Amino acid sequence: MRRLSDTVERIDPPRYPALKRYILYGTAAVLLAFAGYAGWLMWRITTEFDDRAWDLPAQVYASPLELYEGRRLGIEDLQLELQRLGYGPVAGRLGPGFFRRDGGTISLWRRAFVYDGRPVPEQLLRVELAGGRVESLEDGDGGPVAIAELEPLLIGSIFPTHGEDRIILAPDEVPELLTEALKAVEDRRFEEHMGVDVRAIARAALANLRAGGISQGGSTLTMQLVRSYFLTNAQTFNRKFREALMALVLELRHSKDEIMLAYVNEIYLGQNGGRAVHGFGLASRFYFGKPLVELDVHEIALLVAIVRGPSYYDPRRNPERALARRALVLEQMRAAGLIDEQTATAAAERDIGVVTPDSRRTAYYPAFMDLVRRQLRRDYDDEDLEQRGLTIYTTMQPAVQAAAEEALVEELERLQPGRPELDGAVVVTNPHTAEVLALVGGRRTGFDGFNRALDARRQAGSLIKPVVYLAALESGRHSLATHIDDEPITVELDDGRTWSPKNIDGETHGQVTAVRALAESLNLATVHLGLDVGLERVADVFERFGIEPRGRLYPSLLLGAVELTPIDVTQVYNTLANGGFRVPLRAVRAVVDGQGRTLQRYALAIRQVADPVSIYALNQALVQVMERGTGVQARRLLPAALRTAGKTGTSDDLRDSWFAGFADGHLVVTWVGNDGNAAVNLTGGTGASQVWARVMRSVDARSYAPPPPAGAEALWIDYRTGLATDSDCPEAVFVAMTAPEVPPKAVACGSTTTRIGSRIRQWFRNRLQ
């Protein structure tokens, strides 16, 4: 009998039970890790990409150009302004962003724009210019236009330390030809795949296998977007795997239109110094100086060509390479049916068309932008300025800025031979509003670096003598007719040392009038006057004007032994030019958020800090600086009818050359010197004044002729004697005083011999300045 155990097949125990468990657990762990990694990618894309969390740098705009009858504006100036704004010249029919010049008339189709929350519609304008002024301004129907604004120039961005900058475009701001060209050239199956194109990857894998490394990527537009937004450009299999996986996730969560718009706004397209140009909106401005919607076929093709390698196909550095790539793109666009044969041929024959680096359409204004940043950071965090997409409207006038830059660069080149390396600074303001119209921080105007206009603290020298004379006038004991000793003086200091100043020419002049002492910048007379008034009273005027002398008061303060920056000097002279009313200088008018809401307007804050009669009298003396004193060389460079007031400044050993002067509506401050503080052998009258005159000559300046304030007695006095005289006398100067200060009248102008002698002395003095 067989046993049951003999009929049952023996089952052997499983082999390697531990190994199988490890494989099972390992597989589960890998799947769990992959699920966790996929979940993390999903979370990252959801939190970062879904909210379109780009850092949106604040866009900074200049002041818009206003057109009206009678405005001083030459036809070349208007054409240059239009070119800065990216308007293109045409011979035939106009469209938005184009202009036509016919003799002395410019017809233009102004683009629509928004300024400080106020929409301005597009408009056809006809501007007739003659004699350097606007003769008439009409609309497209021939009707008169009282005033018209051009859109403000984009002058820069406040971008983060990583340097990315972009202009975000809405769907209706992206030409269909661009998106279709991107598909035809970069991703033909964009509408079919789910973020990863298996065919393209297989093709790239075969090429990589043959090359023995990664030579092709097979990336779709979605993968390129992921790489730009989340990853690096490292050519590794790990990065490619993450890129593919994230592209799949992105395609699952977003439509093709959303992905394409994100690509257009995100992709890297070039480098502008320390600023990375991202997105087609900014790239269009960077390469062509105009909005993306205004690009022609050949320009769109070039931008698409650059996508493959912004450095390799840089059209400025490698134009031949860029043109060859553009030709290939145009052919692919033709093959895809986007353009016909005739259009492709015509586009291929066009020049490369990018604006040159020195074109004003692509100008960068680092010194002025520095001032804007400093003023904004009083009210906004860096994160707000760099990420929230704010729009900043500034006070800068591009034409004035260009004139200031040109004047500084060219005059420094002219003055340079035989001197240590010269540099300089220029600040231009409107004294009535304290708006900074232009600011130049050095001769390398388009480069970031040391901003001399804001940070170069230099000895002001004679430039601050007007403060001493204002203290004297306000004391009630002195007027412009007061006689002052221009004689040697030795002052014993608190530590037992002595101080013996000298005039710059080493001469003395005996008794001189106060108006002559200031006009000719006589050191000895100024010291005598300042000591008579008292250092404390002089220091008080300094403080009211926003300058606090550091430490102990020494008599050398009277001759400008105080270090100031050009912007400090500008604040002082802006107060003088504004009749003694101090208004803090400002470069920003308004800040608008990404939704068009005005966050802040920078209103004027006015404070009277000086007696109006004394200021008026002082400024009349500054007019004599230009007519008879140290400013005559600058005066000769100006139109004969233009009346200005100004003052030279020269520091010890001829290390610093300053000039500050104003007309009605414009104040210009200039400094010329050496960064290493070496002597440059230039006085204020021979150096900085030349820069000043060129700037003043180029702006729409009006003669300085303010009405006398209440209590001021305007009269003519003899420049040398201080006695009242007739206006036709050779030494007569126009001044102002209070009634009790009016001097007696001279018996006569003098004999014929005296008149001739006065004119001869005047002629020699003018030659020697």
Q: What pLDDT digit, counting tens, does each position of 652-671 carry?
A: 899 999 999 999 999 999 99
- Mean pLDDT in residue range 254-259: 87
Asked whether the predicted pLDDT for residue 266 surpasses 60, the reply is: yes
pLDDT reported for residue 768: 39
- Identify the band that residue 19 occupies on the pLDDT scale cut at 50, 70 and 90: low
CA distances from 64 to 58, 147, 251, 414, 638 (A): 18, 12, 43, 33, 27
Structure tokens at 98: 């184009």
Look at residue 45 in the predicted model and tell me its pLDDT: 64
Between CA 127 and CA 137 the distance in angstroms is: 5
Complete DSSP assignment for 561-630: -SEE-HHHHHHHHHHHHTTTEE---BSEEEEE-TTS-EEEE-----EE-S-HHHHHHHHHHHHHHHHTST
Q: What integer is the mean pLDDT of 399-424?
A: 96
Mean pLDDT of 410-433: 97
Q: If you average pLDDT over residues 481-504, what whole number do you get?
A: 92
For 410, the enclosing helix (H) or strand (E) is helix 398-415
Rg (CA), the chain: 35
CATH class of 461-556: alpha beta
Cβ count within 10 A of residue 481: 22
Residue 478 has pLDDT above 70, yes or no: yes
Using 50, 70 and 90 to split pLDDT, how confident is the model at 208?
Answer: low
Domain ranges of the chain: 2-53, 60-156, 461-556, 715-769
Q: What is the pLDDT of residue 678?
A: 96
φ, ψ (nearest 5 deg) of residue 580: 90, 5
Would you mind telling me the total number of residues written for the chain in this entry?
769
The residue type of 399 is: A
Can you read off the two tokens belonging to residue 389? 């997409």
Q: Write out pLDDT tens, residues 288-315.
A: 988 899 899 999 999 999 999 999 999 9
- Mean per-residue pLDDT, 724-741: 87
User: What is the pLDDT averaged over residues 1-30?
Assistant: 60
Residue 710 in contact with residue 651, Cβ under 8 Å? no
pLDDT given at position 764? 44
- Report phi then psi at 741, rounded to 5: -90, -10
pLDDT category of residue 619 using cuts at 50, 70 and 90: very high
Percent of the chain past pLDDT 90, that is, above it, reads 60
pLDDT, tens digit, for every residue of 83-97?
889 898 998 889 899
Q: What is the mean pLDDT of residues 480-494?
A: 94
Q: For residues 385 and 383, give the distance between their C-alpha atoms in angstroms, rounded to a whole number.
A: 5
- Alpha helices (H) in 658-701, listed in sequence order: 688-698
CA torsion angle 121 124 128 129 (round to 10): 50
Cα(600)–Cα(380) distance, integer angstroms: 11
Q: Taking residues 148-176, what's their average pLDDT?
A: 82
Q: Tell me the average pLDDT of the chain.
A: 86
Specify the pLDDT at position 359.
47
pLDDT of 216: 55
Per-residue model confidence (pLDDT) at position 207: 64
Tokens 């912004």 identify what position? Answer: 310
CATH number of 60-156: 3.30.2060.10
Alpha-carbon span 235 to 217, nearest angstrom: 9
Give the mean pLDDT of 101-117: 93
Q: Do domains 60-156 and 461-556 have the same CATH topology?
A: no
50: amino acid identity, one letter? D
Q: How far apart are CA 687 and CA 673, in angstroms?
A: 9
Which residues are known to be catalytic? 186, 462
Lowest mean pLDDT among 21-30, 360-369, 728-737: 21-30
195: which DSSP letter?
A: S
Residue range 345-397, pLDDT digits in tens: 999 999 998 987 544 444 679 899 999 999 998 888 777 776 677 889 999 99
Ranges of H-type helices in 595-736: 612-627, 632-636, 688-698
Note the pLDDT of residue 766: 45
Give the whole-angstrom CA distance, residue 320 versus residue 352: 9
Map tokens 């250092």 to a residue.
Answer: 535
Per-residue pLDDT band at 335 (split at 50, 70, 90): very high
Q: What burial class does residue 600 get, using C-beta atoms within 10 Å of its C-beta: 0-12 exposed, 13-18 middle, 19+ buried? A: middle
Kindly tell me if the per-residue pLDDT of 596 is higher than 90: no
Q: What is the pLDDT of residue 508?
A: 95
Beta partners for residue 702, in sequence order: 664
- For residue 753, what pLDDT is reported? 43
**More reliable by pLDDT, 374 or 193:** 374
